[in-house]
Structure 1
Amino acid sequence: MNQKTLGIIALVCSPAMLIEGLRHNLKPVPNELTDPTGALLYAAFSIGWLCSMIGLRRLRAAGDGQAGRYLLDLTLASITLAILQTPMDLLKLPTSHPLYLVTDLAWPASMLLTFVVSVAALFARALPGWTRFVPMLCGISVPLTLLLTLLLGRELPGLLMLLHTAVAWALLGWVVYRSNPQGPAPLRPQLAA
């Protein structure tokens, strides 16, 4: 799949969480009450996110070294685990099931790893100009929400968080779409011959 296709998928999928939030009038829905449409919307968002991270990996956004590749590989693995929550929601697997718990923990782990990737992208300077700051817009979602919740003493309005998510991930999809990779980064480090 080329960068443009990855970017288009990311752009199309970026508002999925916003749509899910609006479906429920911005009220949180417990995991055990996730309906099929909600599960598919979460999967769509995650697939777009995965495509963006694949695009960033191809761009070597976290750096040319082994650490940058492994960081993005770990992020890709955690997002993939988060996506696996969808079939469990569709099959109504109990939320107490160990596999469900792993996929549920993969969501915040993926967000945290996205933050680490965004910091690495700032330092690596592999993305040109202002685009190097776009991953940070995605990466700060959870830390910013937690910080503002602590400072304000209450949770941020859901619409604000969902709008930020839709815009930030759409921008990331745009960066991937408009990028010109040096060629795919190898999946495994190359051994000297």
Structure 2
Amino acid sequence: MNHRPLGLAAILLSPLMALMLTMYHWPQHHVIGDVAGGLFLLGWLCSAVGMRRLRVLGPGVVARGLSALQIILLGLAACQQLFDATTGRLDTWYYFVCDMAWPGSMVMMLITGALVWRAGVWADWRHFVPALCGLTLPLALLTQVLVGELAAGIVFGGYSGVLWALLGLAVRSGATVAAPAPAYAAA
């Protein structure tokens, strides 16, 4: 599978974070929000796999390892969404691990952004996108402290929808390294 369908899936699934956060404000827990969160994670996973295939984090073992860690965290976060949709919140260690994978995967996007920047595979607007995605959680937490929970949900849902769509677009457009200047022979 090439990177283009992965990027398209990420673009199409990115708005579902806003739906998930909207459902959390309903009077009772709503399974549609849990499914929306799981589908958002699927789109994010498509972006992570696409970035791994494009090697935009770099060619080394550290880049591959951190890319694998991002994918594992996304899988654990998806398990948390599945638990919420089927059994509700559990008071177990494995639910706690899966629940912590959500913010862990957000923090990993900051690290991913730094690696993408350093690798230089995306030399245009795309090399900013992973780091901007990683700023979603700090921005939402700051908004919650300054303005309140509802405003934080709106900021988090809107910002993540736009940024993860841009991440999908970056993956869909592929890996283009700035072409090196041609070396001319001195004559």
TM-score, normalisation: structure 1: 0.82
* 2:4 aligned partner, one-letter code: K
Deviation, 1:87, is 2.5
- Sort the Cα spacing of 1:170 and 1:38 in 2 relative to 1 into closer, same or farther, 3 A: same
Is the aligned partner of 1:20 residue 2:15? no
Residues 3 and 160 of structure 1: CA distance in aligned 2, closer, same or farther (over 3 Å): same
1:41–1:148 Cα change, 3 Å: closer
Q: Does 1:2 align with 2:22?
A: no
Counterparts of 1:178 and 1:14, CA distance in 2? 17
Q: Deviations over 1:85-105 (max 9, x none)?
A: 133123215421222111101
Structure 2: gaps spanning 5 or more residues: 178-187
Contact map agreement 2:3 2:54 (CA 8 A) in 1: no
How far apart, CA to CA, are the structure 2 residues paired with 1:131 and 1:94? 37
Contact 2:19-2:33 at 8 Å conserved across structures:
no
Give secondary structure in 1 for the equivalent of 2:122.
coil
Indicate conservation of the 8 Å contact 2:21/2:33, yes or no. no
- Unaligned runs of at least 5 residues, structure 1: 183-193
How many residue pairs match? The answer is 176
Partner of 1:56: 51
Cα root mean square deviation, aligned: 2.3
Deviations 1:67-89 (A, max 9, x none): 11111110100001111113312
Residue 44 of structure 1, CA deviation: 0.3
1:11 corresponding residue in structure 2: 11
The percent identity for this pair of structures is: 34
Q: Which amino acid aligns with 2:108?
A: L
Instruction: Please identify the structure whose Cα radius of gyration is greater.
Output: 2
2:39 aligns with one of 36, 41, 44: 44
Q: TM-score, length-normalised on structure 2?
A: 0.84
Q: Any conservation in 2 of the 1:148–1:156 contact (CA below 8 Å)?
A: no
